[in-house]
Amino acid sequence: MGLSLILLSTLLPVAFAICPGTGSLSDSNVQHVLNIFNLWRGEAAKGELYTDQRQLPAGENIYKMEWDCALEELAKKAVENCPTTKTVNPTNGQSFMHLDSTYTANERAQALNTSLSTWPDAADYTDIGNDIVNMAGDDGMLTFMNMIRANTYQVGCSQKQCGNTATAACFYNQPDLKTGELVFKAGRNCANGGPCTTYPASTCDGTFSLCVRGNVPTTTAAAVTTTTPTTAAPVQAETMPTTTAQNTRCSQNQGMTDVVRGRFLDMHNIRRAGLAAGEATTTNNERMLRSSNMMRLTWDCGMEAAALQHAMACTFAKTDLSTRPNYGENQATIAVASNYQAAAEEAVKQWWKTIRHIGGVGRDRIYQRSFFGTPIDGFTQIAWATTTKLGCAVVKCSGRYNVVCRYNPRGNIVGEEIYKRGRPCSQCPLGTTCLDNLCRFN
């Protein structure tokens, strides 16, 4: 599932539980889980969910999740003794995952984290009507569709580890979806003027673009439901932990490791080499034309520093081009990743994968004015043949990963060729040789 979208921080031992009688998750853990749910639901509302085949439409009347202690109690009972299959419940739908001994010790210890990052992966194929998104497919897709069902507004989750296995489950206030039932209706989200009419006196949370039920009480120790506070906490930037041994390539830049730098660079060059060889595909598996002048990227520490500085601002947006006239830029907000490296990898995949969702760039390979500011410009910047230098950074901002990459010379110039057509390396510039279908400076 090519989704934009962070993973929770490590789930901590229970303390100050929202549901003290249940004692399953702490207050802070509950807020983290709710944040994950509402980020996915917000992606659905804004039309930012992708399957391997297409982009899902934006949705209307999608509601923000609240925590429910009774549902948490159901989840706690459902995971007791780490069952391998879910408990049948005709009233409350659920998302369920059993982790056997093939998962790592950390994945089992963080079973709910692992599940929340795994459940969306099953939704690779979705039946999309003209104005609705219908439930279709197997139990795996049901798991994710339950997470984003528009009229669901309460959830409760729990996890349990039993030796070398573990189980996690989340229960909802709506039954499991059945084949053909409405997941959400396509339309405008409430932040764009869409309706919030499923429940009385509803309002709009512009942060997530989700509807909020009216008269939702603030949680106390004895309360059953809770909402996220209306005043958001300040966004805090966290760079990845590093040691001297892990950071030798650009040691002046704190907050990046050589391994993550290598992954950024390799993932860019592998994709550029595949495009040069004619292996990149668009919708309907149509192959793009080969490139004769695709350059091999090298890492630039100064560009990394600039990317890191912007990522730490936690704006989750690109900088204005006027502030970096010679540099291209890609930005991604990653909603689910197990660590900084995984967030980096997911960002590159998202930028490149748009070519499979919305088609190619035309046989003339010219960057069109209509591309600017749309998802395709993430792909075109990576594919820009004459770009030679790359520098990237990953920062965690209050739970979400902010990924920024800088490129030089910049691409995405209206009216110019993205790359030249022809046999790989047949139009390499002077002073270069061919390596893996890419032109490399000697």
| Angle subtended at Cα 8 by Cα 209 and Cα 125, rounded to the nearest 5 degrees | 65
Q: Report the top-level CATH class of 238-441.
A: alpha beta
User: What are the tens digits of pLDDT across the range 284-331?
Assistant: 778 899 999 999 999 999 999 999 999 999 988 999 999 999 999 999
Average pLDDT over residues 348-375: 86
Tell me the average pLDDT of the chain: 84
Q: What would the mean pLDDT of 105-109 be, rounded to a whole number?
A: 86
Is it the case that residue 154 has pLDDT exceeding 70? Answer: yes
Domain locations in the chain as residue ranges: 27-229, 238-441
Structure-model confidence comparison of residues 111 and 218, the more confident one: 111
pLDDT exceeds cutoff 70 at 31 = yes
What radius of gyration do the chain's Cα atoms show? 23
- Going through 61-177 in order, the beta strands assigned E by DSSP cover 66-68, 94-99, 132-134, 154-162, 165-172
C-alpha to C-alpha distance for 374 and 243, rounded to whole angstroms: 38
Instruction: Compare 257 and 88 and report the one with higher pLDDT.
Output: 257
Q: Which residue has the tokens 């010379």?
A: 409
Partners of 266 in the β-ladder: none
Distance CA 220, CA 226 (A): 8
If residue 350 lies in a helix (H) or strand (E), which one and from where to where?
helix 340-358
The token pair that represents 99 in the structure block: 């982790």
DSSP per position, 173-194: SSPPP-TT-EEEEES--GGGT-
Q: What are residue 380's phi and psi, to 5 degrees? A: -65, -30
Report, at the CATH architecture level, how domain 27-229 is classified: 3-Layer(aba) Sandwich (3.40)
> Residue 157 and residue 169: Cα distance in Å, rounded?
6
Task: Note the pLDDT tens digit of each residue in 166-192.
Answer: 999 999 999 998 888 888 999 999 999
Non-local (6+) Cβ contacts of 176 within 8 A are 93, 94, 142, 146
Q: Can 27-229 and 238-441 be said to share one CATH topology? A: yes
Instruction: Determine the pLDDT at residue 233.
Output: 44
3-state secondary structure of 233: coil
The predicted structure's pLDDT at residue 372: 86
In the prediction, which pLDDT does 356 show?
A: 79
Least confident window among 44-58, 139-153, 159-173: 44-58
| pLDDT for res 226 | 33
Mean pLDDT of 384-390: 98
By residue count, the chain amounts to 442
